[in-house]
Amino acid sequence: MFFIYIIQLLYVLGQDEDPIHTSILYGSSDLGYYYVNIYVGNPPQKQSLIIDTGSSITAFPCDACDQKTQCGIHLDQFYSRNESSTYEELNCKSQFGECTCLRCLSNLCGFSISYSEGSHLEGFYLNDNVIFGDLLMEAKNSLDESISRKDTSVRSVFGCTTRETNLFKTQLANGIMGLSPKTNTSFAFPNIVDDIHQQHGMKLFFAICIGRIDGYMTIGEYDYSRHQHNSAYYTIKYQPQNHVYGVKISQIRVNNKTILAGADLQSGRGSFIDSGATLVNAHSDVSKALINFFVCNSPNCPEKQFQDGLACYTYNKTLHGTFEQFISFFPTYQFQMENNFLFDWTPNDYLTKDIFIHDAYCLPVVDYYGDTRMVLGQVWMRNWDIGFDKESQTLTFVKSNCSSDNLKHNFTTDDWFKNELNYSILTVKQRYPPKNVDQEFLYEAIKIFIVVITSIIIILIIVYIRKRKLNKKIKKPQKLPELEDESQKNVEQKVVVVR
């Protein structure tokens, strides 16, 4: 531990106040997602993108989308190709990283993605310069040459959205940043993490630290300056099957008592981390075990009620005192993982403010009505700086308050909750995980299958019609000789009579 601390200290001393690839995350559970800013083109145009470890595409509306009919109104202006001197379109034969264009659309490389809740994106791919995050943008505008010379944008592929529906159309953020393990494969173009790795020589690594409100994200390495000096780091392998960050949970315990065994948590498609999902979604056996475990025997227990399938508890200052006293009624769930790592999911992390009742907090666990799996969304990730290392296929966890401000470790529980109560509710929409992780390819395969079957049916109908017409034409000539024979017989008979 001392050796690790010395390495981290030397690393921090060798850095500026913030690593070059660090950016603020904006959002909350009220908003339903967390997003980061990138700057695209020359001159740079700001785009706000939801971070989604369950998706492989980065896409946002561009000037090819009709804002009135096809795309919604978002935080930032649509990306304008005409205003960027560095953009390039990708044709049907374009290759970038390990991926070659998979879908051709009017000689452009196109995409079409559908999500289980009904959202849909479609458009075509572009290639342009991209700067990750606000801190890099500040460096670009800085007169300090020692900072500015570090600022080298990367060449990156992204989707120019020309049509969006449902949540994508109504959300505040412009688009989505796909961070799944399947980027830069034969199935998907590289994302900005892959591009920074390839073009800047940095580690193929990114970290997400989600707070109750806002947070931060780093690319290339941990921002150790944001961790407390006595922080413990836990590393486990992730399972990349089905192109997600799967984690093996052997059991969930409370007070050293097992409430869920590994068989329940590893059945079906197992458990995986998805920053694009708002809550923890699990099949009913798991969700009921987590919800029903909380049994309060105190006369001042919080009142329980259900809101939209969530178990919620009303906070009463007279009965419960401070928020710190209020959350003391609730258990800490311990997720047992590899290398004896116990992931503590504390009430300070999981209690989520109800979007309808001002003084109620909920356990953010709901039933998942799809194939058997457990989706660990944003609320599960709270206050842990989680590092995703795509080279070693590992996840590293370090406890953090995930403040968007640097080195603020003095927040109390009361500070968090009071700040959350005062935070304006921007939307009441929750984001749900996809029922199929490889959704874009599944839907594309279904569309292709339908087109092929429809084409075959049309061809069969055309062949049938042509065959019938041909048969009619063949039958008509066959009748003519018969008529000629009859005429010939009549003539012959007349000749005989004359004779």
With 0.85 as the threshold, say if the pTM is over it. no
66 as an active site residue: the answer is: no
Give, rounded to a whole angstrom, the gap between the first and last alpha carbons of the chain: 131
In sequence order, the 6+-apart residues with CB closer than 8 A to the CB of 276 are 33, 50, 51, 52, 53, 54, 55, 176, 377, 431, 433
Output the six-digit token pair for 299: 């006369």
Architecture of the domain defined by 22-201:
Beta Barrel (2.40)
- pLDDT, residue 252, reads 94
- pLDDT, residue 195, reads 95
**Which residue in 84, 176, 74 sits closest to 130, CA to CA?**
84
- pLDDT, residue 442, reads 52
Catalytic residue among 274, 349, 354, 385: 274
Q: Work out the burial of residue 438: count CB atoms within 10 Å of its CB; fewer than 13 is exposed, 13-18 middle, 19 or more buried.
A: middle
d(CA 355, CA 358): 7
**Which residue in 153, 161, 160, 156 sits closest to 133, CA to CA?**
153
- pLDDT, residue 141, reads 61
d(CA 96, CA 100): 6
- pLDDT, residue 138, reads 64
- pLDDT, residue 420, reads 59
- pLDDT, residue 19, reads 52
Query: Which residue type, as a one-letter code, is found at position 341?
Result: F
- pLDDT, residue 436, reads 43
- pLDDT, residue 189, reads 94
495 to each of 274, 394, 488, 491, 499, how far by Cα in Å? 99, 106, 11, 6, 6
d(CA 10, CA 172): 40
In sequence order, the 6+-apart residues with CB closer than 8 A to the CB of 377 are 274, 275, 276, 277, 278, 279, 280, 281, 364, 431, 433
415 as an active site residue: the answer is: no
Catalytic residue among 52, 128, 194, 385: 52
Residues of the chain whose pLDDT is less than 70?
A: 1-20, 116-117, 135-152, 370-371, 404-448, 472-499
**Which residue in 94, 128, 135 sits closest to 111, CA to CA?**
94
- pLDDT, residue 367, reads 87
Radius of gyration of the chain (CA): 30
Is the CB of residue 21 less than 8 Å from the CB of residue 202? yes
- pLDDT, residue 472, reads 67
The superfamily (CATH) of domain 226-437 is Acid Proteases (2.40.70.10)
